[in-house]
């Protein structure tokens, strides 16, 4: 369709089609434009809501124009599957014998359906899982059907805006389509035109209406929405056939986020349509090459098939324009985190086992909005939404995969309602089952486990840790990966083999270990690869150890066997190494997987347990993909592609993300911490006999600490464990200080 506005007299050389628009309001307008390659004069005459005046206008233009459009004066009332003639306008259809009269019914339904599809294509997910309120559903059958296909949460304001009927009993209850048909349609047949389409000053705003507060999307007529919707409509989307400048300004003032117009625009460069379905229908009929063709559904469908346009989409709030939204799923790592949540502090007075079991059944709930993140490269702003499950990792494993899948599916629908197009799986949700594959298949939103950036950040953090510990050349060292056949462990193994050249792969799956070894040897000729089902004595030969298991209730690594000053990068969440175990070997650098600094003035709106602007790598991957506009399933399954890891690291550098300071058990390590560890490690290396004594002391300390992993203990209490950890750590320091004093006395003697 060529739509070029020319102004009065702009098309004198063409035979001009003449369309009369009988409008509901007062005022006149006379313009010429080009529609479907033909010149059309569009003459509007208002009747000020008087049906008699409208009939007089029709009679006066009978035979003098090509088509007459009734704008705001419907001949029929349609709602759902029912249709009734509107008594007050019945005579208008008979007022002209020779000139076709249209009211938009011929094309409105099909055009609304088509337009919603185009909007959904331009802004994927804009309607998905949203709470949609039709204001009204009357004479918007196509719009109702199209939106209902994209969200199950569709309700109608017709009973309230037409007759002031209150909400049905029950919290949040709204009228369904069938109830609305029964209550509204027959009663409106004899209602005045002002009830169907009130003047803006006539309709009372429903400031306290539960329906309007419930809705994310208001769809229907701009006049009805402006008359009845509350004065405050923050973050809402309005979907209407058309909107004029005064409508746009009013909605923007009320805080509406997005305005969508469904009809074609008739002026050049116009972003939003300002003409109704009746006018578009009249233009189609006037410019049809078959002037005497019978007007029926097939005729209109063929006319619509020739149109080529896009519906109008405008962000009315500058701060929300162009913002890419993502969601991220978190969950408590242990029952203590449930107790610490402000909403659930009262649960600390209940047995832990009861609290943990009941919390697992909670539906996903909204936590907070992440604001302020922005790419310094593209200036693209992103907004995140934290959603939490109630289950701890222990409960997820106890109840099976389907238990977690169903809650992640609900979380995805909650994310879509918030306008998110990508959801990241945090902590143990990325480990359960097939690591996101099923969730991605069962939901419409894009899914990522975040594990690609977790791997990249882990290796970068390990590299920084090695430098801080004085190991400037790890390429001559040896690395061990525990949990090597897992999704993160396998790709870490392959990348470390390329960087270091001597790796030990540890896993409880021997058949996968053999396959992984062959893969690495084929990818990296000359590499040295050893495989084992337990770390054993090999751990004492390794400078770098990466743990990435999903084990519970067991000791992953005997830290007494580690060589002095070794670096342990604990990727697992919850961690594989307990704080109690780590306290026995203060010479070791035990760090979390690399956390990431997000660019911008980031506010998580919630304490995620990290310093300001710092995110876990899996969360950072989700935000990074949103910055790049990559709304697609990204890192899924047990097999992480190396190309994905390398690509995400390139995006990491492109958008200027940074690895945050190295952390150990929730605390950022200081320069003094590194100096102390280096000093202890040097002493142990220089005194092999003393190191053996130290190892024996650590083994004895480990015997007093329950075997744990992921915070799950084989026995004992958390309090006792921490006490033993503190005692063990102080014991090792005391051991070295005592030896130093004895040596000083020996030397002075």
Q: What tens digit of pLDDT does each residue of 81-106 get?
A: 888 899 999 889 888 888 999 999 98
Cβ neighbours of residue 128 closer than 8 Å, sequence gap 6 or more: 150, 151, 416, 417, 444, 445
Whole-number CA gyration radius for the chain: 34
Cβ–Cβ under 8 Å, residues 464 and 456: no
The pLDDT of residue 209 is above 90: no
In this prediction, residue 243 carries a pLDDT of 95
The token pair that represents 48 in the structure block: 């000020």
State how far the Cα of 464 lies from the Cα of 470, in Å rounded to an integer: 10
pLDDT digit string (tens) for 548-592? 887 766 788 899 999 999 999 998 877 888 889 999 999 999 998
The pLDDT of residue 5 is above 50: no
In this prediction, residue 708 carries a pLDDT of 58
Least confident range from 267-271, 639-643, 688-692: namely 267-271
Span 453-596+664-744: which CATH code?
Answer: 3.40.50.720
The pLDDT of residue 713 is above 70: no
Closest among 471, 484, 463 to 532, alpha carbons compared: 484
Least confident range from 234-248, 321-335, 549-563: namely 549-563
In this prediction, residue 170 carries a pLDDT of 46
In this prediction, residue 596 carries a pLDDT of 94
In this prediction, residue 359 carries a pLDDT of 93
In this prediction, residue 196 carries a pLDDT of 86
State how far the Cα of 409 lies from the Cα of 407, in Å rounded to an integer: 5
Q: How far is CA 437 from CA 24, 270, 443, 619, 639, in A?
A: 55, 43, 10, 18, 11
Domain boundaries, the chain: 3-105, 107-274+308-320, 453-596+664-744
In this prediction, residue 433 carries a pLDDT of 85
In this prediction, residue 229 carries a pLDDT of 93
Closest among 360, 364, 378 to 328, alpha carbons compared: 364
* Higher-confidence position of 530 and 594: 530
In this prediction, residue 181 carries a pLDDT of 77
In this prediction, residue 1 carries a pLDDT of 30
With residues binned 3-state (H G I as helix, E B as strand, rest as coil), the percentages for the chain, rounded to 5, are 40, 20, 40
In this prediction, residue 717 carries a pLDDT of 39
The pLDDT of residue 633 is above 60: yes
In this prediction, residue 572 carries a pLDDT of 80
Q: How confident is the model at residue 341 (pLDDT cuts 50, 70, 90)?
A: confident
**Helix 617-628, helix 642-654: angle, nearest 10:** 70
Look at residue 520 and give its three-state secondary structure. helix
Least confident range from 236-250, 268-282, 397-411, 734-748: namely 734-748
pLDDT digit string (tens) for 43-57? 999 999 899 999 999
Least confident range from 132-136, 413-417, 450-454, 709-713: namely 709-713
Per-chain mean pLDDT for the chain: 86
Neighbours of 289 (CB within 10 A): 9
Are domains 107-274+308-320 and 453-596+664-744 of this chain identical in fold?
yes
In this prediction, residue 732 carries a pLDDT of 41
Say what percent of the chain tops pLDDT 90: 58
Place of tokens 């770390």: 535
* Higher-confidence position of 405 and 289: 405
Cβ–Cβ under 8 Å, residues 696 and 726: no
Closest among 174, 219, 228 to 201, alpha carbons compared: 228
State how far the Cα of 531 lies from the Cα of 529, in Å rounded to an integer: 7
Work out whether strand 28-35 and strand 3-5 pair parallel, antiparallel, or are unpaired.
antiparallel
* Higher-confidence position of 316 and 267: 316
pLDDT digit string (tens) for 101-134? 999 998 899 899 999 999 999 998 899 999 999 9
Q: What is the pTM of this model?
A: 0.78
In this prediction, residue 712 carries a pLDDT of 52
Per CATH, is 107-274+308-320 categorized as 3.40.50? Answer: yes
The pLDDT of residue 322 is above 90: no
Mean pLDDT across 655-672: 90
């Amino acid at each position: 369709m060529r739509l070029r506005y020319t102004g009065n007299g702009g098309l004198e050389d063409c035979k001009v089609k003449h369309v009369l628009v009988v409008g509901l309001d007062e005022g006149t307008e006379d313009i010429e434009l080009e529609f479907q390659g033909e010149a059309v004069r569009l003459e509007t005459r208002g009747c000020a809501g008087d049906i008699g005046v409208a009939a007089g206008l029709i009679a006066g233009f009978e035979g003098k124009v090509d088509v007459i459009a009734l704008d705001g004066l419907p001949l029929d009332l349609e709602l759902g599957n029912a249709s009734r003639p509107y008594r007050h306008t019945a005579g208008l259809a008979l007022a002209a014998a020779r000139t076709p009269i249209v009211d938009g019914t011929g094309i409105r339904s099909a055009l609304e359906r088509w337009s919603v599809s185009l909007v959904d294509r331009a802004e994927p997910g804009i309607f998905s899982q949203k709470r949609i309120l039709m204001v009204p559903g009357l004479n918007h059958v196509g719009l109702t059907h199209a939106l209902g296909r994209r969200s199950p949460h569709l309700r109608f304001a017709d009973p309230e805006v037409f007759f002031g009927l209150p909400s049905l009993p029950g919290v949040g209850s709204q009228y369904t389509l069938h109830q609305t048909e029964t209550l509204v349609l027959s009663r409106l047949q004899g209602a005045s035109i002002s009830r169907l389409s009130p003047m803006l000053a006539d309709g009372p705003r429903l400031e306290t209406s539960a329906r309007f507060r419930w809705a994310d999307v208001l769809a229907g007529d701009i006049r009805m929405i402006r008359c009845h919707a509350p004065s405050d409509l923050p973050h809402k989307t309005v979907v209407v056939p058309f909107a004029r400048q005064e409508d746009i300004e009013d909605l923007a003032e009320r805080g509406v986020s997005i305005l969508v117009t469904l009809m074609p625009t008739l002026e050049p460069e116009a972003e939003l349509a300002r003409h109704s379905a009746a006018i578009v229908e009249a233009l189609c009929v006037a410019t049809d090459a078959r002037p005497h063709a019978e007007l029926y559904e097939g005729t209109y469908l063929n006319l619509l098939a020739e149109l080529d346009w896009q519906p109008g989409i405008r962000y009315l709030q500058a701060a929300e324009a162009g913002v890419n939204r993502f969601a991220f799923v978190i969950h408590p790592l242990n029952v203590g985190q449930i107790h610490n949540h402000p909403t659930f502090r009262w649960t600390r007075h209940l047995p832990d086992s009861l609290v943990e079991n009941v919390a697992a059944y909670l539906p996903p709930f909204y936590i907070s909005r992440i604001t302020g993140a922005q790419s310094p490269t593209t200036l693209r702003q992103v907004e995140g939404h934290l959603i939490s499950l109630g289950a701890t990792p222990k409960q997820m494993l106890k109840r099976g995969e389907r238990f977690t899948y169903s809650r992640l599916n609900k979380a995805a629908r909650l994310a879509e309602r918030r306008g998110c197009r990508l959801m990241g799986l945090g902590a143990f949700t990325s480990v359960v089952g097939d690591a996101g594959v099923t969730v991605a298949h069962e939901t419409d939103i894009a899914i990522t486990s975040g594990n690609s950036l977790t791997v990249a950040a882990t290796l970068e953090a390990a590299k920084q840790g090695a430098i801080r510990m004085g190991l400037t050349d790890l390429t001559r060292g040896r690395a061990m990966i525990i949990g090597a056949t897992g999704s993160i462990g396998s790709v870490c193994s392959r990348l470390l083999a390329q960087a270091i050249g001597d790796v030990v792969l540890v896993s409880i799956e021997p058949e996968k270990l053999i396959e992984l070894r062959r893969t690495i040897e084929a990818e990296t000729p000359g590499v040295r690869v050893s495989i084992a089902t337990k770390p054993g004595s090999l751990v004492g030969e390794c400078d770098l150890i990466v743990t990435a298991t999903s084990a519970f209730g067991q000791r992953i690594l005997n830290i007494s066997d580690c060589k002095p000053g070794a670096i342990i990068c604990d990727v697992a969440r919850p961690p594989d190494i307990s704080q109690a175990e780590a306290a026995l070997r203060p010479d070791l650098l035990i760090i979390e997987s690399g956390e990431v600094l997000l660019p911008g003035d980031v506010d998580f709106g919630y304490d995620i347990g990290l310093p300001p602007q710092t995110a876990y790598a899996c969360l950072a991957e989700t935000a990074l993909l949103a910055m790049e506009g990559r709304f697609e399933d990204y890192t899924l399954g047990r097999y992480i592609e190396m190309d994905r890891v390398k690509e995400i690291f390139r995006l990491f550098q492109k958008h200027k993300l940074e690895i945050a300071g190295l952390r150990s058990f929730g605390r950022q390590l200081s320069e003094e911490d590194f100096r102390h560890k280096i000093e202890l490690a040097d002493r142990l290396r220089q005194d092999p006999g003393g190191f053996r004594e130290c190892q024996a002391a650590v083994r004895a300390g480990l015997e007093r600490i329950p075997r744990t992993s992921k915070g799950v203990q084989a026995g004992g209490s958390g309090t006792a464990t921490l006490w033993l950890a503190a005692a063990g750590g102080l014991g090792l320091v005391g051991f070295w200080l005592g030896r130093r004093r004895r040596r000083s006395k020996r030397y002075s003697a």
